[in-house]
Amino acid sequence: MAQQSETTEKVVTKYDKKIKERKEREAKDKRDQKIAKIVGISIVAVIVLAIAASIGLSVAKKNKAVNSPYIKVGNYDVSKVEFDFYYNSLVSNYINSYGTMISYMGLDTTRPFDEQNYSEEMTWKDFFDKMTVQQILELKACKDDAAAKGFEYDTEEDVKTFTEGVASKAKEDGVSVADFYKKNFGEYASEKNLESYIRETFLVDAYLSKLVDDNMPSEDEISSYYEENKQDYDLVDYRLFLSTPEIGEDDSDEVKEAAIATARENADALADEIKGGADFEEAAAKYEESESEEEDAHLLTDMTYGYVSSVYSDWLYTDGRSEGDTEVFADEENNRFYVIQFVDRRVPEDVNTTIGTTLSSNAVNEYKEELTKNYETKDVAGELRSVVFE
């Protein structure tokens, strides 16, 4: 019967690979944090299909988009130009963040968003519209709050960085700056008519950063939170061997049961050898069809509780677990058996910063939620579905 080692944590490894791919791509692509907050570094070209940019717009239609209210947020009249700016920025960042995972989420970026269902009630267009309205709502509420608190921030450097970044990206894409704005921020967008929204975005971003700093918890609060939630933050290293039966679709129940029993026996035998003092890698090699040239081929490092299989995660994170502890775990549903050897559990070096930022951000989000309760939103132009304003 074939035995194999598992080099990734999840039983279903495709999902993990996609998540890892997305994170690596995000870390590589973030060359300019200021621009990324609004534009998204890798602008997804297919978004243009969903935007449905128009050619030869009438002067009247353009004036209406620039000067007439599209939606109303509190006392603010939001034009189509402003709405499109936030909508397209949000869509770009959303798709760029999830990358190739988007298709697994049911979104085809080559088709119009209003022709694809996000849920029974909403299309993907509705979903993005709803997120955009909420984003504008929070931005206006925070802008007013910043003004009421006397907060001031010079956006000149940020705007300069942004415009230079746009010019650079437009050059890379082989298009004019004017065309870049239209393709990525809406059919009526231009550097001039977006400037006030860009400044507003940076102002609010700076204000929110200040709120996060102001709400940073004390060291005692962070320590207390960690003690109550250490399982969510600690990292573990461990060795893993996966023993699986080789079962054919046409095999009888007796043959299947025998194969499963053999897989279990092999897992138990390997665990007994390791508990008896055998080296994990050397012992595991005897139960594999081919030897791996990789050193510590069965070692998994820096694993978090959320990424560890629930079959053995609680065992790994049990207080008092010692290096070398070895156990066999059965995944009855999938007819597979894990041989797990604990190596190490430790606290990440940046755990205090992570927890502090998390707690502070949560407090700021609650504060934003309270601010927005005093603002009403209205579909002035009547072009958005009612579900967006629920």
What is the distance between the alpha carbons of residues 287 and 260, in angstroms, rounded to a whole number? 15
234-346: CATH, from 1.20.1250.20, 3.10.50.40, 3.40.50.920, 3.20.20.10: 3.10.50.40
Task: Give the chain's length.
Answer: 390
Please report, as a single letter, which amino acid is at residue 178. Answer: A
pLDDT of residue 311: 95
Please report where in the chains the tokens 């690979």 appear, as a residue.
17
pLDDT of residue 59: 65
What is the distance between the alpha carbons of residues 184 and 190, in angstroms, rounded to a whole number? 10
pLDDT 10s digits, 270-306: 999 999 999 999 999 998 876 666 778 899 999 999 9
Helix (H, G, I), strand (E, B) or coil at 55: coil
What is the distance between the alpha carbons of residues 386 and 379, in angstroms, rounded to a whole number? 8
Please report, as a single letter, which amino acid is at residue 164. Answer: E
Q: What percent of the chain has pLDDT over 90?
A: 71
What is the distance between the alpha carbons of residues 2 and 76, in angstroms, rounded to a whole number? 67
pLDDT score of 269 more than 70: yes
What number is the average pLDDT over the span 246-270?
A: 90
CA angle 296, 298, 284 (to 5 degrees): 100
Q: Who wins on pLDDT, 198 or 15?
A: 198
Q: Which two tokens stand for residue 359?
A: 């707690």
31-219+356-389: CATH, from 1.10.3470, 1.10.4030, 1.10.1420, 1.10.10: 1.10.4030
pLDDT 10s digits, 111-153: 999 999 999 999 999 999 999 999 999 999 999 999 999 999 9
pLDDT of residue 62: 72
Helix (H, G, I), strand (E, B) or coil at 331: strand
Q: Give yes or no for a contact between 259 and 251, defined as CB atoms under 8 angstroms apart.
A: yes
Quote the pTM value. Answer: 0.72
What is the distance between the alpha carbons of residues 202 and 150, in angstroms, rounded to a whole number? 16
Alpha helices in 99-150 (DSSP H): 124-148
User: Judging by beta carbons within 10 Å of its beta carbon (0-12, 13-18, 19+), is residue 316 exposed, middle or buried?
Assistant: buried
Q: Which two tokens stand for residue 62?
A: 């353009």
* In the chain, ranges of CATH 3.10.50.40 domains: 234-346
pLDDT of residue 60: 67
- Classify residue 297 by its DSSP letter: T
Element (H, E) at 163: helix 156-173
Alpha helices in 174-290 (DSSP H): 177-185, 191-214, 219-229, 253-275, 280-285
Q: What is the mean pLDDT of the chain?
A: 85
pLDDT of residue 248: 80
3-state helix, strand, coil in the chain (%, to 5): 55, 10, 30
What is the distance between the alpha carbons of residues 363 and 355, in angstroms, rounded to a whole number? 12
pLDDT of residue 14: 41
Please report, as a single letter, which amino acid is at residue 229. Answer: N
Residues 6+ apart with CB under 8 A from 59: none
* In the chain, ranges of CATH 1.10.4030 domains: 31-219+356-389
pLDDT score of 2 more than 70: no
User: Judging by beta carbons within 10 Å of its beta carbon (0-12, 13-18, 19+), is residue 323 exposed, middle or buried?
Assistant: exposed
pLDDT score of 163 more than 90: yes
354, HSE (Cβ side, Cα atoms, 13 Å): 11
pLDDT score of 16 more than 60: no
In the chain, count of helices (H) and strands (E)? 14, 7
Angstrom distances, CA of residue 197 to CA of 47, 129, 269: 21, 18, 66
State the pLDDT confidence band at 58, using cuts at 50, 70 and 90: low
Please report where in the chains the tokens 């055998």 appear, as a residue.
278
Angstrom distances, CA of residue 38 to CA of 18, 45, 96, 200, 272: 24, 16, 12, 11, 57
